[in-house]
Amino acid sequence: MLGVDATTGTINLVPPVSLFAFATSTGDGVPQSATSTLMYSFMPVGGNPTDQVRVLVTVALQSSITVGLDLTQEFGESYITILSPYIDANGHTSNSFASATACSKKGVTVCDGSTSDDSFFGVLHLLSSPGQVANVNLTAAAYVLGVGTATAFLDPVISIDPNQPNANLYSIQVSAGVPNSAAAPASATPEPASMLLAGGALFAIAVARRRRKQNLETRLY
């Protein structure tokens, strides 16, 4: 029997950017849940506005549950979704989309029904164009009702595909304050075009709560 109820939701903005959610319950009938969500933007800079630029998102997604009693309901889920506009061959704006999910669950209906793996380690592929702002949504969530523990974690890094023609002409600019490497945070002094990413482009919230008690709430703007 676990000894204490606990919940934690964290957003780490020290390289690399990462989200974590943790919930554990002793079975007192009160749900334990934690959710961390980060929404921010990126865009390629350099080259010409009509260039099609291949973008890679290297990401690790993990989730887990410690199975408790038969009636326990619990899940850990982490997911990333990205919508990236680009200029197509006809000069029109089109959209490129990518997503990935890791989910562990018991006794609940959550997560994408086509995805049941508890981890994802891989690379997502997108198209973008210089000056086109792409939106990133990251979420880690954990929930337990009964006796058990659930966790979720993810940490993406966005880069230019090294096989992109003239790849050295381009770089990735992300919302100010969001690190985009395992070694160093993004520049605090964006290039002029990257000012499109400022002014409310970053929203983060980490919440850990019981049904009748809010333990932690952090908002970053």
**In the chain, what are the domain boundaries?**
6-220
* pLDDT recorded at residue 49: 95
- Give the β-pairing of 171-174 and 203-210: unpaired
In sign, the C-alpha dihedral spanning 107, 110, 114, 118 is: negative
Place of tokens 């482009």: 201
Amino acid at 119: S
* pLDDT recorded at residue 28: 79
* pLDDT recorded at residue 75: 87
d(CA 113, CA 105): 12
For the chain, list residues with pLDDT below 70: 1-3, 67-70, 112-116, 182-221
Q: pTM of this prediction?
A: 0.81
Amino acid at 58: T
